[in-house]
């Protein structure tokens, strides 16, 4: 067998299926030169993996919140809104599929305090084609642990965000200092009803046996809407977007059910965001999508963000 070229060596070390794998192994055992090349290749593979792992310590700019007695404070990150292509997004929204409720009962957590979340972030200013002027500092923050055994209704403590897009206002960042609270209220009011109705009809058809509706999104209307059956999903407006997520477990289920990794869809005025949420305790969840992290309190079949409770809403009657 001839000496092995580097490509062959790396493919062999990477475990790629090869018909001559046994032959290669015998050759490496017998040829000192190729054995040295293999050793070097192993080092390069390990070294490059180590180097690349250093790139993983990049946070999403989560801004730490302060602790508060008796209540969780919410960490809200810098919201970076970038214009995403809008073409076909309403059609894409029609493909949103309701996420079935996944409940994993964890009796060990019943009655215990919410686990504090430690967020470690380090945001790099390096862009692919832009030299890094400075290495930004990383931040480690841990929200204050709530009182043991007490999980008060979580409050969303807003922090300043560097760039925020208000719903229907496209993607230009707003002025710095706009609080999340303002965004929630303002964004909801600006949702276009026409778009909501279109999404409602399409989404209900796509979801089949789990109709999910996007009710008129004025804050007052949502507050006053009556509850749906357990099969339907609650929605809320969050940061100017309509948010839908897995329904909370039925009242009969253990209150501390964990829904780690559950997927929710976050419907913007012009598209859909896929994210994840996890239950933090008996009455709070952490929502994470597109660099957005926040917590919301679960209250009576809905969620509460920034003091506003969003309840499930009935589906609007279909036209003749």
Interaction residues for other proteins, span 248-307 (CB under 8 A): 261, 263, 271-276, 289-291
Find where tokens 């004025």 sit: 218
Part in contact with other proteins (CB under 8 A); list of ranges 45-53, 106-114, 186-194, 225-233: 45-53
* Nearer to other proteins among residue 16 and residue 253 (C-beta): 16
Residue (12 or 311) nearer to other proteins, CB: 12
Of 150 and 176, nearer to other proteins (C-beta) is 176
Rg for the chain, CA atoms, rounded:
25
Residues numbered 193-212 forming contacts with other proteins, rule: CB under 8 A: 206
**CA dist., res. 217 & res. 219, Å (int):** 6
Q: Which of 21, 110, 135, 170 binds other proteins (CB under 8 A)?
A: 135
Distance between CA atoms of residues 183 and 290, nearest Å: 17
Nearer to other proteins, 225 or 240 (CB): 240
Tell me how many residues contact other proteins (CB under 8 A). Answer: 81
**What is the rounded distance in angstroms from the CA atom of residue 38 to the CA atom of residue 296?**
53
Q: Which of residues 70-109 bind other proteins (CB under 8 A)?
A: 78, 80, 82, 84-85, 88-89, 91-92, 95-97, 99-100
In DSSP terms, 275 is beta-bridged to 264
Question: Hey, which residues between 57 and 76 contact other proteins (CB under 8 A)?
Answer: 57-61, 63-64
Handedness of CA 153, 154, 158, 161 (dihedral sign): negative
Instruction: Report the residue number, 202 or 218, with the smaller CB distance to other proteins.
Output: 202
With contacts defined by CB under 8 A, name the span among 117-125, 145-153, 237-245, 302-310 that binds other proteins.
117-125
Which one of 29, 140, 170, 250 is in contact with other proteins (CB under 8 A)? 140
Helices and strands counted in the chain (H then E): 7, 10
Q: Do 9 and 38 contact (CB within 8 A), yes or no?
A: yes
Contact between 287 and 156 under an 8 Å Cβ cutoff? The reply is no
Q: Which is nearer to other proteins, 142 or 253 (CB)?
A: 142
Q: List Cα–Cα distances, 267 to 25, 127, 199, 248, 252, in angstroms.
A: 54, 28, 10, 19, 29
């Amino acid at each position: 067998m001839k000496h092995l070229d580097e490509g062959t060596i790396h493919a062999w070390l990477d475990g790629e299926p090869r018909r001559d794998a046994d032959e290669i192994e015998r050759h490496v055992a017998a040829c000192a030169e190729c054995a040295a090349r293999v050793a070097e290749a192993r080092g390069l593979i390990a070294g490059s993996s180590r180097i690349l792992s250093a790139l993983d310590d990049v946070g999403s700019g989560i801004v730490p919140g302060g602790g508060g007695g008796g209540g969780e404070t919410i960490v809200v990150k810098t919201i970076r809104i970038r214009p995403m292509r809008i073409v076909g997004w309403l059609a894409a929204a029609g493909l949103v599929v309701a996420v079935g409720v996944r409940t994993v009962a964890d009796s060990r957590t019943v009655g215990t305090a919410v686990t504090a979340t430690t967020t470690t972030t380090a945001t790099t200013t390096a862009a692919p084609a832009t030299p890094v002027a400075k290495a930004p500092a990383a931040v480690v923050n841990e929200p204050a642990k709530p009182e043991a055994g007490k999980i008060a209704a979580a409050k969303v403590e807003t922090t300043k965000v560097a760039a925020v897009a208000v719903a229907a206002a496209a993607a230009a960042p707003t002025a710095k200092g706009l609080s999340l609270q303002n965004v929630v209220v303002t964004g909801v009011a600006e949702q276009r009803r026409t778009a909501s109705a279109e999404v409602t009809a399409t989404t209900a058809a796509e979801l089949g046996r789990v109709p999910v509706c996007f009710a008129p999104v004025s804050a007052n209307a949502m507050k006053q809407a009556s509850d749906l059956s357990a099969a339907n999903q609650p929605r809320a407006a969050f940061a100017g977007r309509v948010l839908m997520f897995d329904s909370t477990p039925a009242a009969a289920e253990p209150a501390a059910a964990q829904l780690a990794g559950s997927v929710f869809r976050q419907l913007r005025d012009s598209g859909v965001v896929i994210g994840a949420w996890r239950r933090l305790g008996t009455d709070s969840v952490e929502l994470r999508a597109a660099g957005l992290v926040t917590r919301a309190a679960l209250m009576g079949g809905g969620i509460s963000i920034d003091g506003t409770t969003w309840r499930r809403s009935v589906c609007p009657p279909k036209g003749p």
